[in-house]
Chain A
């Protein structure tokens, strides 16, 4: 089954404790991206990757890192999480960029206390 998976689905952590949210897709998609969704603000892009080893900032990259060492994986790293990063995070992938339909993961609800 074609899908985008994210782990963990729920995470409660404390300020400053490094964490990684994994994202994996099994569709051989070149493009992957991360969004955060906050009430009243909608979805905002954090980082995207056009292909392996090619990543770039989206609208709200501060406090986040990503890497794309393999085509299928695109982890989101929070080196020192802060409470303002409490949010619902989505990973998405597509065949090749925003020209194509995006396939979204189920979401990761992160709470930073």
Chain B
């Protein structure tokens, strides 16, 4: 049951530029989370935004949530080569908080 879908699938930018990734989902959610995965390694949590929140910041990360459009965006400002990774959105749409549904991810490549 695929819920979130990231766009674009792949993104290539230069160091110092901003990177924006989008996530669309289908059903009402309790929260939406963003994760980063370096090649073949475990996922690392970046930000959690609840359904009653519209924007959240963490360092160079900015996440927005538009529940009316069922979409979220992740902005990474002043990107660095170390930001090269895959980024996933995950939605919690379950009644009992039992399952996060992950999208297929955006692969970000930052070149120096």
Chain B minimum-CB-distance residue to A49: B98
Asked if A90 contacts B43 (CB within 8 A), the reply is yes
Question: Which of the candidate stretches B12-20, B60-68, B72-80, B100-108 sits at the interface with the other chain?
Answer: B100-108
Compute how far the CA of A97 lies from the CA of B98 in the bound complex, rounded to whole angstroms: 5
Of the candidates B33, B45, B94, B102, the one whose C-beta lies within 8 Å of that of A42 is: B102
Chain B minimum-CB-distance residue to A107: B42
A21 CB to nearest B CB, Å: 14
Can you name 16 extra interface pairs (CB under 8 A) apart from A98-B99, A107-B41?
A41-B104, A42-B2, A42-B103, A45-B99, A45-B101, A50-B96, A50-B98, A56-B98, A58-B99, A98-B92, A98-B100, A99-B97, A100-B48, A101-B48, A102-B35, A107-B42
Chain A minimum-CB-distance residue to B45: A101
Binary interface profile of A, 4-20, with partner B (CB < 8 Å = 1, else 0)?
10000000000000000
B28 CB to nearest A CB, Å: 14
- CB contact under 8 A between A106 and B42, given known A42-B102, A101-B48: yes
B50 CB to nearest A CB, Å: 9
Asked if B104 contacts A42 (CB within 8 A), the reply is yes
Could you show 25 A-B contacts with beta carbons less than 8 Å apart?
A: A4-B42, A41-B104, A42-B104, A43-B88, A44-B102, A45-B101, A48-B98, A58-B99, A59-B1, A59-B99, A90-B43, A97-B98, A98-B30, A98-B92, A98-B99, A99-B30, A99-B92, A101-B45, A102-B43, A102-B45, A103-B45, A104-B42, A106-B41, A106-B42, A107-B42
B71 is an interface residue with CB less than 8 A from chain A:
no
Residues of B within 8 A of A (CB): 1-2, 30-31, 33, 35, 40-45, 48, 88, 90, 92, 94, 96-105
Chain A contact patch, size range: 20 to 34
Asked if A48 contacts B99 (CB within 8 A), the reply is yes
B21 CB to nearest A CB, Å: 14
